[in-house]
Amino acid sequence: AILQFQQYLKYINLQFPENLEIYFSIYDLITIQPLFDFIDFQSIFQFIELQQNQESYSEGKFNVYKQNPSLIINLSCQILQCLISLFLIMLYHLIKKIIYNWIFCSRNFYYASTLSIYIKPQLIIKCEKSFYNICLDILKLKKLMSFQGLQQALILNGWDMTFKTLLYMRNISTINCLDIIQLIMASIILILYFTILLDGFKSKQKVQKMKRFQILNFGTQFFFLFFLINIQRSQILQLGLLLLTCIFQISFLFIYRHIQHKNKYIVKMVVEISVLTFMLNSFLYVKECDEYFNEQKKIILGWIHISILSSGLISEVIFILKDSYVKWKQLYKRKKPECARNPLFI
């Protein structure tokens, strides 16, 4: 998530040094997109005539990092996820039907009582109890198959889907039926996201506070990407608006600090402060500073920025290692008394 957020910084309309550009591109190596490129999905889309003659959006930094103008191609990963989700929903309803018709019925108890004649009743009861609990856990997945589950999925995919949808909306064309389908898709996605934003201000319970924080967090993501894509002509204005969204994000993090896990809160705060620091120093990359700030100085500043931006990732790794060590220590303490009671150690 940290690298996913930071990769969008490369689209800021500034001339970054090469070392910083490489750092921003690291996320591309660890996503599913290289797999899609290896499978050559582009040729598949060409075969089914999904490729378009429409020119890609090429204003500012998007002239360097050209994006495919087709929304269907850009959201191919999310479409694949959607198809898998639909399959899982259908599978869930099938399993649910089997559970109610074959498990939670008198017939099941009849078979269990018949088996208890040949097998120990205690073993039958234990197996029945375990199987019953598994069935209950499966039925609890209903929340994920609801609109709340859809909301959560949209929030988790917020960065990618919002970026690609806003980018498509920046360069709309209605030449053929495919363009109209893509326009409808983009409109539905944006309506769903606006529904999520409005839904975050309805309830004031503690459980809903976390949901509201997630929605506010997505709101800052949305405006960050909106300014990133649409304000490419003015370097200072774009940087100023992005800086403002970072300040709002840090404010929301601080206000909702009591409902967050301590370690996650610290990592998020380190990430946001590092990005804020990067934004403040990035004014040195604007064209007006070129005559005072040469390429060599930019490379040095680039290494400093890489160190600052890496602090969030380093802090997350430290907490993961710390939690792993605590779990290992607890497991070791539980096993130690068993070894002490073993006759071989007497």
CA atoms of 224 and 228, how far apart (whole Å): 6
Which of these ranges, 27-41, 85-99, 286-300, has the smallest mean pLDDT? 27-41
Report the range out of 10-24, 75-89, 136-150 with the highest average pLDDT: 10-24
Contacts of 72 (CB under 8 A, 6+ apart): 45, 50, 79, 178, 181, 182, 185
CA atoms of 156 and 158, how far apart (whole Å): 5
Taking only the tens place, the pLDDT of each residue in 58-117 is 777 888 887 777 788 788 777 777 777 777 777 777 777 776 676 666 666 666 677 667
Report yes or no on 319 lying in a domain: no
CA atoms of 6 and 21, how far apart (whole Å): 11
Report yes or no on 322 lying in a domain: no
Confidence of residue 194 (pLDDT cuts 50, 70, 90): confident
> What average pLDDT score do residues 308-319 get?
90
- Determine what percent of the chain is predicted with pLDDT higher than 90: 16
Confidence of residue 36 (pLDDT cuts 50, 70, 90): low
**Mean pLDDT of the residues in the chain:** 78
Report yes or no on 302 lying in a domain: no
Dihedral angle over CA of 277, 282, 288, 293, nearest 10:
100
Report yes or no on 164 lying in a domain: yes
Structure tokens at 346: 């007497």
CA atoms of 326 and 288, how far apart (whole Å): 52
Alpha helix (H) residue ranges in the chain: 2-7, 18-24, 26-29, 33-39, 41-47, 71-74, 76-98, 106-115, 121-139, 147-156, 158-169, 177-199, 206-230, 235-255, 262-281, 295-341
Taking only the tens place, the pLDDT of each residue in 266-290 is 999 999 999 999 999 898 888 888 7
Taking only the tens place, the pLDDT of each residue in 210-263 is 778 888 888 898 899 999 998 988 889 999 999 999 999 999 999 988 888 888
CB 122 within 8 A of CB 128: no
Report yes or no on 182 lying in a domain: yes
Contacts of 11 (CB under 8 A, 6+ apart): 61, 62, 65, 228, 229
Length of the chain: 346
Report yes or no on 66 lying in a domain: yes
Residue 135: CA count within 13 A, CB half-sphere: 18
Contacts of 32 (CB under 8 A, 6+ apart): 77
Confidence of residue 171 (pLDDT cuts 50, 70, 90): confident
Structure tokens at 157: 């995919």
Residue 164: CA count within 13 A, CB half-sphere: 21
Counted domains in the chain: 1
Please list, residue by residue across 257-280, b when 16 or more beta carbons sit within 10 angstroms of its beta carbon and e when fewer do. eeebeeeebbbbbbbbbbbbbbbe
Question: Higher model confidence: residue 331 or residue 23?
Answer: 23
Confidence of residue 344 (pLDDT cuts 50, 70, 90): very low
pLDDT at 206 over 70: no
pTM over 0.85: no
Report yes or no on 198 lying in a domain: yes
Which of these ranges, 15-24, 26-35, 302-311, has the smallest mean pLDDT? 26-35
Domain, as residue range, for 65: 32-211
Report yes or no on 256 lying in a domain: no
